[in-house]
Amino acid sequence: MYKVDAQQAFWIKWNIKHIETLSHKELEILLAADGEFEVVGRLRESHTIELQQKLLANMGRIGTLTAIPATFEVEVTVYVPDLERKLIPVAVPVLGKSPGVCYVGRPGDHDKRLVLSEDACEAICDAIQDMDLTKIHANAHETVEYLRNTEDLLRALESGIALPSSNSTTWKDIPSPSGATKVVGNKVQARVLGLVGNAATFDVQKPLSGGEAAKAGIVLMVRL
């Protein structure tokens, strides 16, 4: 610490990487009549806030503005692949009364999540249970059976489904929230419960590929 007069203080450059904390008592002693420091001026509010934000940029979010996640309603439709790997809708009436909500996080379009009501989550799981397996493509049977025999689908829906970006033309996997795996050939792979896509960029009449159908225990189409 150095004692400076007003003329010298004008030329001081702030070193925001040199941080030193003082107690109120120490400040009172330093600023007392016989102390080493004196108040030589006051920064304008805009400069004070700028200095504060630069100082705290690598320390925390205090004093800085953060983007609040945005939300909006979205239309959700549930499908499964038929015998020709084409998507056929699964009747879930509650989705018409209680649409999904899309949360857009701070990173923006690449951090979107679908959140459904508890009733909708349970209704979707019930609908998958009631599906006639003989009408679903053989590649999807193992995944559908897994959904029926575990609570992974309910857990995934209740925790929110990560969505693809608005202009994405590819499916996004719905991973198992429990970290479940399955053996494919000689390899152990992370289990996928289903697929989610953007209705604006997909043709529901186009058949899934064989690999996509194997993942499609459930297919969620979201209209953003």
Q: Which of 52-61, 160-169, 193-202, 207-216 has the lowest mean pLDDT?
A: 52-61
Global model pTM greater than 0.75: no
> What torsion do the CA atoms of 174, 179, 183, 184 make, to the nearest 10 degrees?
30
The arithmetic mean of pLDDT across residues 43-53, rounded, is 77
Instruction: Give 1's pLDDT tier (boundaries 50, 70, 90).
Output: very low
Taking only the tens place, the pLDDT of each residue in 76-89 is: 999 999 999 999 99
Taking only the tens place, the pLDDT of each residue in 176-211 is: 999 999 988 889 999 999 999 999 888 889 999 999
Which three-class secondary structure string do you get for the chain?
CCCCCHHHHCCCCCCCCCCCCCCHHHHHHHCCCCCCCCCCCCCCHHHHHHHHHHHHCCCCCCCCCCCCCEEEEEEEEEEEECCCCCEEECCCCHHHHCCEEEEECCCCCCCEEEECCHHHHHHHHHHHHHCCHHHCCHHHHHHHHHHHHCCHHHHHHHHCEEECCCCCCCCEEEECCCCCEEEECCEEEECEEEEEEEHHHCCCCCCCCHHHHHHCCCEEEEEC
Residue 109 is encoded by which pair of tokens? 């379009």
pLDDT of residue 12: 55
Angle formed at CA 215 by CA 224 and CA 167, multiple of 5 degrees:
25
Alpha-carbon distance 153 to 147, whole Å? 6
pLDDT of residue 95: 93
pLDDT of residue 99: 84
Is residue 2 scored above 50 in pLDDT?
A: no
Is residue 60 scored above 70 in pLDDT?
A: no
Taking only the tens place, the pLDDT of each residue in 14-42 is: 777 777 788 888 888 888 888 888 777 77
